[in-house]
Structure 1
Amino acid sequence: MVYYEPRLNYWLFTAEAYGTSGEMYNWIVGKPDGSYILCATDESGKQAITEQNLEFPLNKTLPKYLQPTGKKKTFNQNQLGFSKIKGREFKVVYRKTNDQSSVFVSDFKADFLPLYFFNRLNTEAKLPFRFPEDLPKQTLLLEENSEVNNVKIRLVFKEISHTEYFIDLKGE
Protein backbone atom coordinates (compact mmCIF):
# COMPACT_ATOMS: atom_id res chain seq x y z
CA MET A 1 0.00 0.00 0.00
CA VAL A 2 1.23 3.49 -0.85
CA TYR A 3 -0.30 6.81 0.10
CA TYR A 4 -0.95 9.72 -2.24
CA GLU A 5 -1.42 13.39 -1.35
CA PRO A 6 -3.30 14.89 -4.35
CA ARG A 7 -2.85 18.59 -3.56
CA LEU A 8 0.97 18.38 -3.56
CA ASN A 9 1.19 15.28 -5.77
CA TYR A 10 3.42 13.55 -3.17
CA TRP A 11 3.68 9.82 -2.56
CA LEU A 12 4.32 8.30 0.88
CA PHE A 13 5.97 4.88 1.13
CA THR A 14 6.05 2.98 4.41
CA ALA A 15 6.91 -0.59 5.38
CA GLU A 16 3.47 -1.54 4.03
CA ALA A 17 4.94 -0.88 0.57
CA TYR A 18 8.53 -2.12 0.84
CA GLY A 19 8.26 -4.56 3.76
CA THR A 20 11.42 -5.78 5.42
CA SER A 21 13.57 -4.87 2.41
CA GLY A 22 14.20 -1.50 4.04
CA GLU A 23 13.59 -2.13 7.71
CA MET A 24 15.71 0.87 8.80
CA TYR A 25 13.47 3.26 6.80
CA ASN A 26 10.50 4.66 8.69
CA TRP A 27 9.06 6.29 5.59
CA ILE A 28 10.01 7.77 2.21
CA VAL A 29 8.24 10.64 0.44
CA GLY A 30 8.47 10.88 -3.36
CA LYS A 31 7.85 14.18 -5.10
CA PRO A 32 7.00 14.86 -8.77
CA ASP A 33 10.27 16.79 -9.27
CA GLY A 34 12.28 13.59 -8.69
CA SER A 35 13.28 14.36 -5.11
CA TYR A 36 12.71 11.89 -2.31
CA ILE A 37 12.84 12.57 1.43
CA LEU A 38 13.95 9.53 3.42
CA CYS A 39 13.58 9.04 7.17
CA ALA A 40 15.68 6.24 8.66
CA THR A 41 16.52 5.06 12.15
CA ASP A 42 19.98 3.59 12.71
CA GLU A 43 20.89 0.68 14.99
CA SER A 44 21.38 3.02 17.96
CA GLY A 45 17.89 4.51 17.53
CA LYS A 46 18.99 7.82 16.04
CA GLN A 47 16.66 9.15 13.37
CA ALA A 48 17.98 10.99 10.31
CA ILE A 49 16.26 12.60 7.35
CA THR A 50 18.12 12.65 4.03
CA GLU A 51 17.24 13.48 0.44
CA GLN A 52 17.92 11.77 -2.88
CA ASN A 53 17.15 13.00 -6.38
CA LEU A 54 16.31 11.05 -9.52
CA GLU A 55 15.87 12.18 -13.11
CA PHE A 56 12.43 11.45 -14.52
CA PRO A 57 11.97 11.19 -18.29
CA LEU A 58 9.32 13.31 -19.99
CA ASN A 59 7.60 10.63 -22.07
CA LYS A 60 4.43 12.05 -23.60
CA THR A 61 3.10 8.91 -25.32
CA LEU A 62 2.87 5.23 -24.57
CA PRO A 63 5.88 3.19 -25.71
CA LYS A 64 5.59 1.55 -29.13
CA TYR A 65 5.97 -1.96 -27.70
CA LEU A 66 2.46 -1.60 -26.22
CA GLN A 67 -0.04 -2.70 -28.85
CA PRO A 68 -3.76 -1.98 -28.18
CA THR A 69 -6.08 -4.99 -28.06
CA GLY A 70 -9.34 -3.02 -27.94
CA LYS A 71 -10.34 -4.73 -24.69
CA LYS A 72 -11.49 -2.57 -21.75
CA LYS A 73 -11.95 -3.32 -18.06
CA THR A 74 -13.33 -1.35 -15.11
CA PHE A 75 -11.28 -0.88 -11.93
CA ASN A 76 -11.90 0.81 -8.55
CA GLN A 77 -15.40 -0.61 -8.26
CA ASN A 78 -16.00 0.18 -4.61
CA GLN A 79 -18.41 2.32 -2.62
CA LEU A 80 -15.79 4.71 -1.18
CA GLY A 81 -16.73 7.83 -3.15
CA PHE A 82 -14.15 7.59 -5.94
CA SER A 83 -14.99 7.17 -9.60
CA LYS A 84 -14.58 3.92 -11.45
CA ILE A 85 -11.48 3.78 -13.63
CA LYS A 86 -11.74 2.48 -17.19
CA GLY A 87 -8.61 0.64 -18.27
CA ARG A 88 -7.50 -0.13 -21.82
CA GLU A 89 -5.61 -3.34 -22.52
CA PHE A 90 -2.32 -3.45 -24.39
CA LYS A 91 -0.32 -6.47 -25.43
CA VAL A 92 3.38 -6.15 -24.69
CA VAL A 93 5.49 -7.06 -27.71
CA TYR A 94 8.91 -8.49 -26.88
CA ARG A 95 11.49 -8.60 -29.67
CA LYS A 96 13.95 -11.16 -28.34
CA THR A 97 11.98 -13.53 -26.10
CA ASN A 98 8.83 -15.61 -26.10
CA ASP A 99 7.67 -13.99 -22.87
CA GLN A 100 4.07 -12.78 -22.86
CA SER A 101 2.50 -9.82 -21.10
CA SER A 102 -0.57 -7.67 -21.21
CA VAL A 103 -1.31 -4.51 -19.26
CA PHE A 104 -4.32 -2.36 -18.53
CA VAL A 105 -3.62 1.37 -18.24
CA SER A 106 -5.64 4.55 -17.87
CA ASP A 107 -5.01 8.29 -17.91
CA PHE A 108 -5.34 9.70 -14.40
CA LYS A 109 -4.88 13.07 -12.65
CA ALA A 110 -1.74 12.12 -10.72
CA ASP A 111 1.98 11.97 -11.41
CA PHE A 112 3.00 8.34 -10.99
CA LEU A 113 6.71 8.74 -11.72
CA PRO A 114 7.74 8.89 -8.02
CA LEU A 115 6.02 5.50 -7.63
CA TYR A 116 7.33 3.99 -10.87
CA PHE A 117 10.94 5.03 -10.17
CA PHE A 118 11.00 4.19 -6.43
CA ASN A 119 13.19 1.10 -6.90
CA ARG A 120 15.93 3.24 -8.46
CA LEU A 121 16.63 4.91 -5.11
CA ASN A 122 19.97 4.05 -3.55
CA THR A 123 18.36 2.26 -0.59
CA GLU A 124 17.64 -1.25 0.61
CA ALA A 125 13.92 -0.42 0.51
CA LYS A 126 12.41 -1.88 -2.66
CA LEU A 127 8.86 -2.38 -3.83
CA PRO A 128 8.10 -6.04 -4.61
CA PHE A 129 7.18 -5.11 -8.19
CA ARG A 130 9.18 -3.35 -10.90
CA PHE A 131 7.03 -0.76 -12.66
CA PRO A 132 7.65 0.28 -16.26
CA GLU A 133 9.74 3.45 -16.30
CA ASP A 134 8.78 4.62 -19.77
CA LEU A 135 5.10 5.40 -19.22
CA PRO A 136 3.88 9.01 -19.36
CA LYS A 137 3.64 10.51 -15.88
CA GLN A 138 -0.18 10.50 -15.78
CA THR A 139 -0.57 6.91 -16.99
CA LEU A 140 -1.85 4.62 -14.25
CA LEU A 141 -0.83 0.96 -14.53
CA LEU A 142 -3.96 -0.90 -13.42
CA GLU A 143 -3.08 -4.51 -14.15
CA GLU A 144 -0.23 -6.54 -15.54
CA ASN A 145 -0.33 -10.21 -16.46
CA SER A 146 2.99 -11.70 -17.51
CA GLU A 147 4.58 -15.04 -18.12
CA VAL A 148 8.35 -14.81 -17.90
CA ASN A 149 10.48 -17.97 -18.03
CA ASN A 150 7.34 -20.04 -17.35
CA VAL A 151 6.58 -18.02 -14.20
CA LYS A 152 3.24 -16.20 -14.07
CA ILE A 153 3.19 -12.72 -12.55
CA ARG A 154 0.05 -10.72 -11.84
CA LEU A 155 -0.35 -7.22 -10.45
CA VAL A 156 -3.81 -5.71 -10.01
CA PHE A 157 -4.76 -2.21 -8.83
CA LYS A 158 -7.01 -2.71 -5.83
CA GLU A 159 -8.71 0.58 -5.03
CA ILE A 160 -8.55 4.20 -4.00
CA SER A 161 -9.71 4.94 -0.48
CA HIS A 162 -9.59 7.82 2.00
CA THR A 163 -7.03 7.86 4.79
CA GLU A 164 -4.93 10.19 6.88
CA TYR A 165 -1.28 9.54 7.59
CA PHE A 166 1.00 12.00 9.33
CA ILE A 167 4.79 12.04 9.32
CA ASP A 168 7.29 14.25 11.14
CA LEU A 169 9.43 16.05 8.56
CA LYS A 170 11.68 17.43 11.29
CA GLY A 171 12.97 13.99 12.22
CA GLU A 172 12.55 14.44 15.95
Structure 2
Amino acid sequence: MKPQHITELIVRTAMKDRAAFDALYRSTSAKLFGVCLRILNNRSEAEEVVQEVFVKIWTRADRFAISELSPISWLVAIARHQAIDRIRVRRLPTSDLDAALNVSDSAPNPEMAVLASSRREEIDRCLDELEEERGEAVRGAYLEGLSYSELAERHRIPLNTMRTWLRRSLMKLKECLER
Protein backbone atom coordinates (compact mmCIF):
# COMPACT_ATOMS: atom_id res chain seq x y z
CA MET A 1 0.00 0.00 0.00
CA LYS A 2 1.33 3.43 -0.92
CA PRO A 3 2.22 5.95 1.83
CA GLN A 4 -0.30 8.44 0.44
CA HIS A 5 -3.09 5.90 0.88
CA ILE A 6 -2.03 5.13 4.47
CA THR A 7 -1.87 8.86 5.20
CA GLU A 8 -5.38 9.26 3.83
CA LEU A 9 -6.62 6.39 6.01
CA ILE A 10 -5.04 7.94 9.12
CA VAL A 11 -6.59 11.32 8.36
CA ARG A 12 -9.99 9.72 7.84
CA THR A 13 -9.52 7.72 11.06
CA ALA A 14 -8.90 11.01 12.86
CA MET A 15 -12.39 11.99 11.71
CA LYS A 16 -13.65 8.72 13.28
CA ASP A 17 -14.30 7.04 9.93
CA ARG A 18 -14.71 3.38 10.93
CA ALA A 19 -14.32 2.07 7.38
CA ALA A 20 -10.99 3.89 7.05
CA PHE A 21 -9.88 2.52 10.43
CA ASP A 22 -10.81 -0.99 9.33
CA ALA A 23 -8.85 -0.57 6.08
CA LEU A 24 -5.90 0.86 8.02
CA TYR A 25 -5.99 -2.14 10.35
CA ARG A 26 -6.16 -4.64 7.50
CA SER A 27 -3.29 -3.00 5.63
CA THR A 28 -0.88 -2.36 8.52
CA SER A 29 -1.62 -4.80 11.35
CA ALA A 30 0.69 -7.53 10.03
CA LYS A 31 3.65 -5.16 9.91
CA LEU A 32 2.89 -3.74 13.36
CA PHE A 33 2.46 -7.26 14.72
CA GLY A 34 5.92 -8.11 13.35
CA VAL A 35 7.42 -5.10 15.11
CA CYS A 36 5.78 -6.04 18.41
CA LEU A 37 6.72 -9.71 18.08
CA ARG A 38 10.34 -8.85 17.36
CA ILE A 39 10.51 -6.72 20.52
CA LEU A 40 8.48 -8.94 22.85
CA ASN A 41 9.39 -12.43 21.59
CA ASN A 42 5.95 -13.59 22.72
CA ARG A 43 3.15 -14.10 20.23
CA SER A 44 0.20 -13.64 22.61
CA GLU A 45 1.71 -10.51 24.16
CA ALA A 46 2.43 -9.13 20.69
CA GLU A 47 -1.20 -9.72 19.70
CA GLU A 48 -2.39 -7.88 22.83
CA VAL A 49 -0.02 -4.99 22.19
CA VAL A 50 -1.18 -4.66 18.57
CA GLN A 51 -4.74 -4.31 19.85
CA GLU A 52 -3.56 -1.61 22.28
CA VAL A 53 -1.71 0.08 19.43
CA PHE A 54 -4.84 0.30 17.32
CA VAL A 55 -6.80 1.69 20.25
CA LYS A 56 -4.14 4.41 20.49
CA ILE A 57 -4.29 5.00 16.75
CA TRP A 58 -8.08 5.38 16.93
CA THR A 59 -7.85 7.87 19.79
CA ARG A 60 -4.75 9.73 18.62
CA ALA A 61 -5.02 9.76 14.84
CA ASP A 62 -5.71 13.49 15.02
CA ARG A 63 -2.14 13.97 16.27
CA PHE A 64 -0.67 12.59 13.07
CA ALA A 65 1.13 15.38 11.26
CA ILE A 66 1.31 14.99 7.51
CA SER A 67 4.94 15.45 6.57
CA GLU A 68 7.64 14.04 4.35
CA LEU A 69 8.06 11.14 6.77
CA SER A 70 6.40 7.86 5.96
CA PRO A 71 3.07 7.39 7.75
CA ILE A 72 4.06 3.80 8.45
CA SER A 73 6.97 5.22 10.48
CA TRP A 74 4.46 6.97 12.72
CA LEU A 75 2.49 3.75 13.14
CA VAL A 76 5.63 1.69 13.80
CA ALA A 77 6.78 4.23 16.41
CA ILE A 78 3.49 3.82 18.28
CA ALA A 79 3.83 0.02 18.14
CA ARG A 80 7.46 0.12 19.21
CA HIS A 81 6.76 2.39 22.19
CA GLN A 82 3.78 0.29 23.26
CA ALA A 83 5.86 -2.92 23.10
CA ILE A 84 8.69 -1.30 25.06
CA ASP A 85 6.18 -0.12 27.67
CA ARG A 86 5.00 -3.72 27.97
CA ILE A 87 8.58 -4.85 28.62
CA ARG A 88 8.96 -2.18 31.28
CA VAL A 89 5.82 -3.42 33.02
CA ARG A 90 7.35 -6.91 33.06
CA ARG A 91 10.45 -5.57 34.80
CA LEU A 92 8.74 -3.78 37.68
CA PRO A 93 11.04 -4.04 40.66
CA THR A 94 10.12 -6.70 43.18
CA SER A 95 12.98 -6.22 45.59
CA ASP A 96 13.24 -8.15 48.79
CA LEU A 97 12.98 -6.20 52.04
CA ASP A 98 16.30 -7.65 53.26
CA ALA A 99 18.02 -6.43 50.10
CA ALA A 100 16.73 -2.93 50.84
CA LEU A 101 18.71 -2.89 54.09
CA ASN A 102 21.96 -3.10 52.11
CA VAL A 103 21.24 -0.10 49.92
CA SER A 104 23.85 2.61 50.32
CA ASP A 105 23.00 6.24 51.00
CA SER A 106 22.59 7.97 47.65
CA ALA A 107 22.73 11.46 49.12
CA PRO A 108 25.63 13.43 47.70
CA ASN A 109 28.65 14.07 49.86
CA PRO A 110 29.62 17.74 50.39
CA GLU A 111 32.08 17.77 47.47
CA MET A 112 29.50 16.28 45.11
CA ALA A 113 26.91 18.80 46.34
CA VAL A 114 29.21 21.75 45.50
CA LEU A 115 29.99 20.33 42.04
CA ALA A 116 26.31 19.68 41.37
CA SER A 117 25.41 23.18 42.50
CA SER A 118 27.96 24.81 40.19
CA ARG A 119 26.85 22.57 37.30
CA ARG A 120 23.23 23.50 38.03
CA GLU A 121 24.13 27.19 37.86
CA GLU A 122 25.88 26.58 34.54
CA ILE A 123 22.83 24.75 33.17
CA ASP A 124 20.51 27.54 34.37
CA ARG A 125 22.73 30.12 32.70
CA CYS A 126 22.64 28.20 29.41
CA LEU A 127 18.86 27.72 29.66
CA ASP A 128 18.51 31.49 30.14
CA GLU A 129 20.39 32.01 26.86
CA LEU A 130 17.63 30.19 24.95
CA GLU A 131 14.59 32.02 23.63
CA GLU A 132 12.08 32.29 26.48
CA GLU A 133 9.48 29.86 25.09
CA ARG A 134 12.12 27.29 24.17
CA GLY A 135 13.72 27.51 27.59
CA GLU A 136 10.30 26.97 29.18
CA ALA A 137 9.74 23.96 26.91
CA VAL A 138 13.09 22.39 27.88
CA ARG A 139 12.39 22.98 31.57
CA GLY A 140 8.93 21.50 31.16
CA ALA A 141 10.21 18.40 29.39
CA TYR A 142 13.31 17.66 31.44
CA LEU A 143 12.62 19.19 34.84
CA GLU A 144 8.84 18.82 35.13
CA GLY A 145 8.57 15.58 33.14
CA LEU A 146 5.92 16.85 30.73
CA SER A 147 5.37 14.90 27.52
CA TYR A 148 5.94 16.42 24.08
CA SER A 149 2.20 16.49 23.47
CA GLU A 150 1.53 18.26 26.79
CA LEU A 151 4.17 20.85 25.93
CA ALA A 152 2.77 21.30 22.41
CA GLU A 153 -0.67 21.95 23.91
CA ARG A 154 0.76 24.33 26.52
CA HIS A 155 2.60 26.38 23.87
CA ARG A 156 -0.20 25.98 21.30
CA ILE A 157 2.09 24.61 18.58
CA PRO A 158 2.09 21.38 16.54
CA LEU A 159 3.69 18.32 18.12
CA ASN A 160 6.44 18.06 15.51
CA THR A 161 7.32 21.73 16.04
CA MET A 162 7.73 21.00 19.75
CA ARG A 163 10.04 18.10 18.96
CA THR A 164 12.10 20.40 16.75
CA TRP A 165 12.23 23.09 19.46
CA LEU A 166 13.49 20.60 22.02
CA ARG A 167 16.04 18.97 19.72
CA ARG A 168 17.50 22.32 18.64
CA SER A 169 17.41 23.69 22.18
CA LEU A 170 19.31 20.66 23.48
CA MET A 171 21.95 21.15 20.78
CA LYS A 172 22.32 24.80 21.86
CA LEU A 173 22.56 23.75 25.51
CA LYS A 174 25.25 21.25 24.64
CA GLU A 175 27.24 23.92 22.79
CA CYS A 176 26.83 26.32 25.70
CA LEU A 177 27.92 23.75 28.29
CA GLU A 178 30.98 22.80 26.23
CA ARG A 179 32.22 26.40 26.16
TM > 0.5 fold call: no
Length-normalised TM-score, structure 2: 0.19
| Larger Cα-atom Rg | 2
Instruction: Point out which structure has higher relative CO (alpha carbons under 8 A, 6+ apart).
Output: 1
Length-normalised TM-score, structure 1: 0.19
Higher strand share: 1
